[in-house]
Structure 1
C-alpha cells in the first residue's frame, strides 16, 4: 500500500488499516464545516426566492394517508385524492424528531485497500461525518454495525449512541477468520429498526448482496435512503496485469479478465439493489477528498 499525497482543502481522508477512535472524534470539526456551508447555501436560496423542500415552520413530510376526523383540511393532498377517489392528507412531523439510522458494514471484504486506507477505515470515517452532522442538529441516531462476524444494533435515542457506534467500529479484528453474518441479515435488522420517516444510510462496498437482500430492500423503499458505496481504486480500474492475492494457503494470482468480470457482476447486483430499495447512490473511493458527503446530508 502506498500513501497518497494529502488532499488540498476539502475533507482529508483518514489513512491506514485500523479504525481509530481519535480519528472518528476528529470528524466533528469537518461536520461543523459542512453544516456551516449548508447554512450559507440555505440563506442564499431564501434570498434568491428559490423554493425549499421543507416547510418554513420546522416541519417535514412524514406520510400521506387517508383523511381522518380531526385532520387539518389545509393539509389535504388533492393530487392523491383525485387519483384514489378518497380524501388523503399530508402528515408532518418536527424535523428534529426524525431519527437517523446508519448501517455500517465492516465485514471482511471491507478490510482491503491499495490506496491510502482500507475501505473499512473510509466507511467508518463517513459514518462519523454523518453521525456528527446529525448530532449537531439534535437528531436521534440508531445504527446497525456488521463486524467480526456479528451484528450490533443500536436503537435510536440510546444514550450516547454515536460513542457506542465508535466503540463497536474500533473493535474490528483484522484478519480474523469467522463465519460472518450475511448482508441480508444486516439489512433485515436495519429494516426492523428504521421507522416513521427515518433518514437511512447504508455504508458498504455491497459485495455481500444476493437475492435474499431483495425483501429488506423493498421494506426500505419508504425511506428514500442513501446507498453510500465505498470502493478501492483497483475495484474501479483493474490493473493490466494479473493481480497477486493472499489466501489461507499462501499467495496466488487472479487474471485481469477474471477480476473485471467479477467487478461487472458486483456492479450489476449493486444497480439492482439500488433500484429495489429506491436508494440514492453516492460513491467514495479510498484516498479521495470526502467533501461530496455534504450531498447526502
Structure 2
C-alpha cells in the first residue's frame, strides 16, 4: 500500500522576511489562474507567441478561413469549399514542448524592503509559481538560483520530484540571507549570464526574476544574443526606496550602505542627491531591460514589495 502524502510543515518563520519550503509547495494552488508562454488567452499581452519556434507534440485546429496564395492545398476543407463555392482552408497551430529555465535572484541585495515583503521573498515565490505552471502545462522546468555564496542550476526536467528538490534548495538559499550577508565574487550578474550562455540552450524560455541592479550594458548584450535563439522574459522586482527617497528622511538621520560603504543622510542636500541618483539608475535600468524585451515583443514585467506581487504578476502575464 502506498503511503499517503504528508504536506510539509511550516517552520514558523516571518513570511515577510523569509519563504519556507512548505509555502512554496502550497503555491501550486495558484497556477490555475494564470498562463505562461505559449499557453495564453487571446486577451493576454503575451498571446500569439511561439507559434512555430519549438518541436511539436501535435497540431491544434485554430480557424477556418478563405484560401490565400501560398496556402497548402492539403489543408483545403472540401466540404466548406463545395458548400460556399469559395476555397477555404483549415489553419492549425503546433503544440509545443518547451524547456523553461526559471532564474531566481537570491543574492544579498534582494534582502531588502521598505514596505511589506523582502524582494528575495517576492522572487522566490514568483519563481516557484512559474515552475508549477510549467509542470502543469506538461513542459520541462529547471532552476538557476543565484545565492549569495554560489550559483546553483539544474537541468530542465518534467519531474515533480526533481522540482520539489529545487524548491528545497531555493528556500535554503532564501533563508541564508540576513542584514550581514555579502555576495561572493562568483555570483555577480556577469557570472550569472555566463552560466546561462554555457548551457548552450536553443528554443528555450528563460524567466529571469531579479532586481537587475548590477546588470550592465555588456551583460544585456549577452542576453540579447541569448534572445536570438530563445525567449528571455524579464521580471524586475523593485522597492519604492530604490526609486526615490522620502523628502523627510533627513529628520530620521538614516545611514545607508551596501555592506561595504555607508552614507550618512544628515542633510537635505545629501538626501536629494541620493534620491536623484537612484531615479537616474532606475530609469536607465528600465529602458535597458525594456529594449531587451522589445526584441521579441515581450512586456517588461515589474513588481514591487507591497505584498501584492502574485496579483500583479497574474495581471501582467494574463489570466486563464
When normalised by structure 2's length, the TM-score is 0.66
Structure 2 residue ranges without an equivalent (≥5):
1-13, 55-70, 74-92
Map Cα deviations across residues 123-148 of structure 1 (whole Å, 9 max, x no partner): 11111111111111111002211102
> Of the candidates 271, 281, 287, which is equivalent to residue 306 of structure 2?
287
Structure 1 residue ranges without an equivalent (≥5):
1-13, 46-51, 64-72, 76-91
Partner of residue 186, structure 1 = 192
Map Cα deviations across residues 87-126 of structure 1 (whole Å, 9 max, x no partner): xxxxx8641x211111111111111001111100011111
Partner of residue 208, structure 2 = 202
Partner of residue 283, structure 2 = 267
CA contact (8 A) 1:191 1:219 kept: no
Task: Please state whether the residue corresponding to 1:62 is helix, strand or coil.
Answer: coil
CA contact (8 A) 2:237 2:304 kept: yes
CA contact (8 A) 2:139 2:158 kept: no
CA contact (8 A) 1:206 1:270 kept: no
> Of the candidates 45, 56, 62, which is equivalent to residue 53 of structure 2?
62
Match status 1:176 vs 2:192: no
Cα distance in 2 for residues equivalent to 1:256 and 1:239: 9
Task: Please state whether the residue corresponding to 2:23 is helix, strand or coil.
Answer: helix
CA contact (8 A) 1:201 1:226 kept: yes
Partner of residue 317, structure 2 = 296
Write out aligned runs for 1:94-243 (5 A).
94-95=95-96, 97-157=97-157, 159=159, 160-172=161-173, 173-174=176-177, 175-180=180-185, 181-193=187-199, 195-222=201-228, 223-242=230-249
Q: Call closer, same or farther: CA 1:168–1:239 in 2, change over 3 Å.
A: same
Map Cα deviations across residues 18-48 of structure 1 (whole Å, 9 max, x no partner): 121122112111112336xx99956x99xxx
When normalised by structure 1's length, the TM-score is 0.70
Task: Please state whether the residue corresponding to 2:303 is helix, strand or coil.
Answer: strand
Q: Please identify runs of 4+ aligned residues in structure 1 that moved more than 6 A.
A: none
Task: Please state whether the residue corresponding to 1:197 is helix, strand or coil.
Answer: coil
CA contact (8 A) 2:245 2:274 kept: no
Q: Call closer, same or farther: CA 1:22–1:256 in 2, change over 3 Å.
A: farther
Q: Deviation at 1:269? A: 3.1
Cα distance in 2 for residues equivalent to 1:40 and 1:205: 26
Partner of residue 7, structure 2 = none
Match status 1:31 vs 2:5: no
User: How many residues are paired up?
Assistant: 245
CA contact (8 A) 1:239 1:256 kept: no
Partner of residue 82, structure 1 = none
Q: Call closer, same or farther: CA 1:231–1:194 in 2, change over 3 Å.
A: farther
Task: Please state whether the residue corresponding to 2:247 is helix, strand or coil.
Answer: coil
Q: Call closer, same or farther: CA 1:158–1:147 in 2, change over 3 Å.
A: farther
Q: Call closer, same or farther: CA 1:255–1:161 in 2, change over 3 Å.
A: farther
Cα distance in 2 for residues equivalent to 1:216 and 1:296: 25
Q: Call closer, same or farther: CA 1:234–1:226 in 2, change over 3 Å.
A: same
Q: Deviation at 1:158? A: 7.1
Cα distance in 2 for residues equivalent to 1:183 and 1:40: 30
